[in-house]
Amino acid sequence: MEEETERIYRLINNYLINTSENDIVINSLDVFYYFALNVKKLLSDCFDKKEFDISYSKITKMKLLDKVDLIKRFYQKNDMIFDLDHCIKNGTIEFRYYDFFNIKNSDANKRINLTKGIVLQKNGKTNVTINDNGLVTDIPLTIHELSHFKNSPDTERSLINWLFNESLAVAEELICLDFLKSLGYHDEAKLWLRLRYSSLLKSAKQAIPSYQMFILFKKFGAISDINYRLYFKTIDGYNYLKKRIKEGIIHPIHKLSFYVLATYLGTYMYYEYHKDRSFIKNIENLHKRINDSDFFTCLKLINLHNLEKEDIKKLMKALSKMCNRLKNDTH
């Protein structure tokens, strides 16, 4: 056996040994694989290049006080209860000024700064630091990070908790983009939407070969072209998989799986809210109960059940709706 293959087998084996028996991802690899494949299928057409160019100079500039004012209006308008002033005054939330246009930075760094926010738990206290880039796009960034903050637990988040927490942040951020659009910031809303879903596509693409490795290893104990053909009914993709094995790349599938699923769930929640504003109660309830609820209770709180057929249909429908919007929305 080639050295690289052996290394990958060892990694997968260790991973499986150290994962609990009722682990959701490992026990539902096919479902997560299907989620990722669907993202690739739907979203690949939406982004012609791997990383799209951003015209940073076209993003509307906005001062911090005006942004804070709009964020408060957003919460009020959508019946979300959050005392932003209080959290700023007591230092829990800090906006870190970043001279976005004057500091010489590569585009990659600019992109990172555009979306940078940190929610940090230390000694039982949670602090939020959000980049103040002086841009309108800081608003959805802040809404996303504050959503993480709203339900901070006293202890470290479990992966399930992380999953629903991220899905809430995505949902609120998407609702906020509609608010931005209503104020005339169409291009900024569109840019943020593209950032969100191009990042989803990137994660799904990274996860796919890793799922394939896990699936084949679990099923056959070995990864080979014959096994690949047997299981996936095609040989397409095997060469790519082989390349990844040679490079020794296997991505952390839990993190990627939960990120992909969280974006599905967030998109679904956004459209449920779109359909009927009273869904905000479900969102608020999930915030309230996330820290003492298990996976299935969290699903129930947002009108889902078990991530089987009917639920999957709902999630797929939401993502495909979003995909149409990405393709057709000139604004």
Q: Which residues bind Zn ion (CB under 5 A)?
A: 166, 169
The partner residues of 89 in beta bridges, in order of sequence, read none
* CB-based contact 286:147 (threshold 8 Å): no
Q: Going by DSSP bridges, is the β-strand pair 93-97/117-122 parallel, antiparallel, or unpaired?
A: unpaired
Phi, then psi, of 61 in degrees rounded to 5? -85, 150
Nearer to Zn ion, 227 or 267 (CB): 267
Nearer to Zn ion, 149 or 179 (CB): 149
Half-sphere exposure of 265 (CA within 13 A, CB side): 29
119/126 Cα distance (integer angstroms): 7
What residues have CB less than 8 Å from 67, skipping those under 6 apart? 132, 136, 138, 139, 142
Which residue minimizes CB distance to Zn ion?
169
Q: Going by DSSP bridges, is the β-strand pair 125-132/117-122 parallel, antiparallel, or unpaired?
A: antiparallel
Min. distance of Cβ 263 from Zn ion in angstroms? 10
Please name the amino acid found at residue 77: K
Burial class of residue 132, CB neighbours in 10 A (0-12, 13-18, 19+)? buried
